[in-house]
Amino acid sequence: MPEPQPLDDIAVLDLSTIVSGGTTTSILADFGARVIKVENPQGGDPLRDWAPMKDGVSLWWKVLSRNKQSITLNLRDPRGQRLTRDLAARVDVVVENFRPGTLERWNLGYDALSAVNPRLVMVRISGFGQTGPNRDRPGFGTVAEAMSGFVALSGFPDGPPLLPPMPLADEVAGLFGATAAMMALYHRGRGDGRGQVIDLSLYEPLFRLLIPHIPQYTLLGEAQPRVGNRFPGAAPRNLYHARDGWVALSATTQRTFERLAQTMGRPDLLGDPRFADNAGRVAHVEALDAIIQEWMGMQPLDDLLRRLQEAGAIAGPVYDVRRILADPQFAARGDVVIVQDDQVGAIPMPGVIPTFSRTPGHVTHAGPRLGEHNEAVYGGLLGLDAEAQTALAREGVI
């Protein structure tokens, strides 16, 4: 018998494209939910075109769409819309990330879908949310990252703001979407059995993570500037360069700073009024960083890390992908799994996170071929015979 999974009795209809909705459903699929991924019959999800590619196949697709079933369905066709409603009647969650009003024009909004399934939970992800003056604007994560306030804080004081090198707003929104779906399902189970709509923008999840910045400005009149790799409220915290590599260090409590000073052979720092407490260290962070950098810059990376770790200092190397794959901690935790795929062969990819003691998640397969599960869904779930499926495919509905 396979191990049970937390969501193995939950079914999800994924109408979304690209990353935000795909992240939501990827997390649910990792823990056993049956995710039916709807794709346009003409080319499928645009994520299939994202590099990097292996043998012409997107590795983005293979990882983000793992554990999902792929069906083709034309949502613009009235017959496709009927099939969508039939599917929505048989699932617990629908995830979509169209511009607000699009599904309503196709008679696939929440009112239409909940009419056939009052228990349905619908996660709606859009650039700016379903309400407000910007609701009708198209929104991508890049704009959301800038609007959230996150980008203004990223970078060094004398440089420009920096965008993240990944679709951060989409992926964080996806995390919020998965969490919200589970909260709504929990409420459904202990309430009146009815579902509800979850309205999630791309900019608000990142905004939610900037915890003190609104009260800091409104109550103290301080707008947080860019501080590079430092932390504005505690010091020292930075990246420092050893002779042959970078070190991440955080000594932002009194005890960790004391350990650092002893390891450096600089107990005098503890008696220096500039560095006696956190407030002083923040006020004199330039001088403190220069002292730490001078000490670290004279030492080989491995020796430096060993000394710091033996002393109980909080420090570690800056990993790139090569170091991740060689690290025994990642290996011991199963953080990288290898999935066999009939298109590209063995694919190493991030494992299932977090770890459950009784009902762990699993990766059963990489992202599927376009329409690979049409028969399993249209035949097995909806009961359409082969002749009906062939006719729908011929007419471009599926």
Catalytic residues: 170
Tokens of 335: 């953080």
- The rounded distance, in Å, linking the Cα atoms of 61 and 116 is 31
CB 297 within 8 A of CB 241: yes
Query: Side by side, which strands form the sheet with 93-96?
Result: 68-72, 34-39, 11-14, 93-96, 121-126, 197-201
Distances in Å between the Cα of 165 and the Cα atoms of 141, 143, 154, 168 are 12, 14, 12, 8
The 10 Å CB-count burial string (b at 16+, else e) for 35-61 is bbbbbbbeebbebbebeeeeeebbbbb
- The rounded distance, in Å, linking the Cα atoms of 314 and 293 is 16
Q: Which residues contact 101 (CB under 8 A, 6 or more apart)?
A: 136
Strand, coil or helix: what is 242? strand
- The rounded distance, in Å, linking the Cα atoms of 191 and 170 is 31
Q: Which residues, listed in sequence order, are joined to residue 315 by a DSSP beta bridge?
A: 249
Strand, coil or helix: what is 368? coil
- The rounded distance, in Å, linking the Cα atoms of 260 and 240 is 14
- The rounded distance, in Å, linking the Cα atoms of 276 and 273 is 5
